[in-house]
Amino acid sequence: MQSTSHNAAVASKTAGTPPLPSTGGYWRWLRDRFRESQKIGYVFVLPYLVFFAVFVAYPLIFAFILVFHSWNIVSPMRFVGLWNIERLLFNDPLFWKALGNTLKFLMLHIPLQLVLALMIAVILNQRIPLRGFFRSAFFLPFVISGAVVTILWQALYSTDAGVFNLVLRKLGLPGVGWLTDPGIAIYSIAIMATWKNLGFYIILFLAGLQGIPGYLYEAAAIDGANRWHQFWRITLPLLNQITLLVVILSTMGGFSLFIEPFVMTGGGPADSTLSVVLYLYKHAFQFLHMGYAATIGFVLAAMVFVVIVIQRKLMSGETYV
């Protein structure tokens, strides 16, 4: 009787509970659940895939096709083979002038931005009054529209009524043609671009500085190292990866120089501020040489890739704490 009642109680407790699947059934159940989760994952990834296909993959493929064609938007595309590439590399001195202007910009922009950003970041990493205010003040120009900043600096650089020349005249010095002298116009633009982007790189260096353990400086101080030695032996080596990142981002930004010369000088005077991207823009949207503009874009991308690879080879190195 007890056995019968026990079995009845167990049966009542297990009533409504689905039976456990066998080994083969369990693996089938697990596979079905995995496939269902995959479908959900595809649903979440689909918007990005559509965005990538429409705004990245398709334009790249179409631009690559344009390299081998002549097209002015209105007329049908005409196949020209390697003519665009040959013209760009061997028969277009203005492209090489634009590339030279861009390199001049980079030669001043990268070192100036690197040194100033690191120096200011080291200062703002100390306990100084109004530290939060100064951090925000340096970062503010970076979030302002590039066109607005460019127009502001265009007024500052004005030959007749610009603030810089007014100060020089107050000091008894002659005014400078900041944007009208072909010899210095590109460097004037480099100074302005450095001022605008400086705050972003200060933030990067501040993040790197705050990741350096304090005990390293304490140990170095106990061993008799002064602040200068600590900076060269601890700070700089441990900021190696951040420095590489700053150089790469500055290089990419410099090769993309467009808004500043477009608004301030239009590429003048005498094409002295004509950048590669501005030259590409003129061929695409002023002259409607879409195939040639696409060729300029791909050649520029290849140059940027080569430069960045060289920079990584020269500057890369693991640093351990």
What values do phi and psi take at 137, rounded to 5? -65, -40
Question: What tens digit of pLDDT does each residue of 111-160 get?
Answer: 999 999 999 999 999 888 888 888 889 999 999 888 899 999 999 999 88
The amino acid at residue 140 is L
User: What's the CATH superfamily of 85-315?
Assistant: MetI-like (1.10.3720.10)
Rounded mean pLDDT of 267-274?
93
Encoded tokens for 135: 């951090």
278 neighbors 262 (Cβ within 8 angstroms)? yes
**pLDDT reported for residue 40:** 74
The amino acid at residue 271 is D
Q: What is the residue extent of each domain of the chain?
A: 21-66, 85-315
**pLDDT reported for residue 10:** 45
The residue to which tokens 């009542």 are assigned: 12
248 neighbors 114 (Cβ within 8 angstroms)? no
pLDDT range class, residue 8, cuts 50, 70, 90: very low
Question: What tens digit of pLDDT does each residue of 93-114 get?
Answer: 999 999 999 999 999 999 999 9
Encoded tokens for 300: 């520029």
Question: What tens digit of pLDDT does each residue of 199-255 get?
Answer: 999 999 999 999 888 888 888 888 888 888 888 988 888 999 899 999 999 999 999
Distance in angstroms (rounded) separating the CA atoms of residues 297 and 281 = 10
Rounded to a whole number of angstroms, the distance between the first and last alpha carbons of the chain is 75
Question: What tens digit of pLDDT does each residue of 11-25 get?
Answer: 444 444 445 455 556
239 neighbors 256 (Cβ within 8 angstroms)? no
Question: What tens digit of pLDDT does each residue of 289-306 get?
Answer: 999 999 999 999 999 999
pLDDT range class, residue 161, cuts 50, 70, 90: confident
